[in-house]
């Protein structure tokens, strides 16, 4: 079946099997390999992308379900807010091995667009669907606080 999506502002059309997962479509058919596939069960969140502005785990969305939608992946260089989140993760050491990082960053971007002044508890709850085995999360939370200050001009509320 033919799937047409806009990814990071560019339109793509590909003929795919109806059972093709969005993560596979993005990585294998389009060639954007920044979206990672970790668990295939929605537990790790490494495959998180934005679809029409909402965070989705692309390992459990079919490419056919994304037909006609707009997607944003970690590779989007045109998005200034995404660039600020990426910078914050580097500045605050919010990554180690980097496997979970694309999903963490995309979830963080969605979170900061949705809540312009998140509390630390809100940040922690919003990250519940993303797993990191390296950082212990403190540096990730600090990265999100830093990104919030850059994007929204506000320090995150402590509690």
Task: Kindly give the residue spans of alpha helices, DSSP state H, lying in 68-157.
Answer: 80-91, 101-114, 120-126, 138-152
Determine the pLDDT at residue 54.
Answer: 98
Q: Is residue 159 in a domain?
A: no
Q: What is the mean pLDDT of residues 26-42?
A: 94
- What are the counts of helices (DSSP H) followed by strands (DSSP E) for the chain? 5, 5
Q: For residue range 15-25, what is the model confidence (pLDDT) as tens digits?
A: 999 999 999 99
CATH of the domain at 28: 3.10.20.30
Residues 90, 134: one domain? yes
CATH of the domain at 144: 1.10.150.120
Task: Return the minimum-mean-pLDDT range out of 2-6, 118-122, 140-144, 152-156.
Answer: 152-156
d(CA 88, CA 22): 27
- On whether the CB atoms of residues 22 and 62 are closer than 8 A, the answer is yes
Determine the pLDDT at residue 153.
Answer: 87
Domain boundary among 24, 44, 72: 72
Q: Is residue 20 in a domain?
A: yes
pLDDT band at 42 (very low <50, low <70, confident <90, very high): confident
Residues 34, 87: one domain? no
Residues 96, 65: one domain? no
Q: What is the mean pLDDT of residues 79-93?
A: 96
39: Cβ contacts below 8 Å, ≥ 6 apart: 46, 59
Task: Please state, rounded to an integer, the average pLDDT across all residues of the chain.
Answer: 94
Residues 10, 50: one domain? yes
Q: For residue range 129-151, what is the model confidence (pLDDT) as tens digits?
A: 999 988 889 999 999 999 999 99
- Please state the domain count of the chain: 2
- On whether the CB atoms of residues 15 and 83 are closer than 8 A, the answer is no
Residues 115, 57: one domain? no
Q: For residue range 63-76, what is the model confidence (pLDDT) as tens digits?
A: 999 999 999 999 99
Determine the pLDDT at residue 40.
Answer: 79
Determine the pLDDT at residue 156.
Answer: 63
Please choose, from the candidates 84, 78, 91, 92, the residue with its C-alpha nearest in 3D space to the C-alpha of residue 108.
84
Residues 147, 86: one domain? yes
Per-residue pLDDT at 61 exceeds 80: yes
Q: Say if strands 10-15 and 2-7 run parallel, antiparallel, or are unpaired.
A: antiparallel
Range of the domain at 117: 80-152
101-114 and 138-152 helices, crossing angle to 10°: 40
């Amino acid at each position: 079946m033919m799937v047409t999506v806009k990814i990071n502002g560019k339109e793509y059309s590909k003929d795919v099997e109806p059972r093709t997962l969005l993560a596979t479509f993005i990585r294998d058919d389009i060639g954007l390999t920044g979206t990672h596939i970790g668990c295939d069960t929605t537990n790790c969140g490494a495959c998180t992308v934005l679809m029409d502005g909402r965070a989705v785990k692309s390992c459990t969305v079919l490419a056919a379900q994304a037909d006609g939608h707009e997607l944003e992946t970690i590779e989007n260089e045109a998005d200034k807010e995404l660039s600020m989140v990426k910078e914050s993760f580097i500045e605050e050491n919010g990554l180690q091995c980097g496997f979970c990082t694309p999903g963490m960053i995309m979830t963080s971007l969605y979170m900061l667009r949705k809540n312009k002044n998140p509390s630390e508890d809100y940040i922690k709850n919003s990250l519940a669907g993303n797993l990191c085995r390296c950082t212990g999360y403190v540096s990730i939370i600090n990265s999100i606080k830093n990104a919030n200050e850059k994007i929204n001009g506000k320090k995150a509320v402590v509690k």
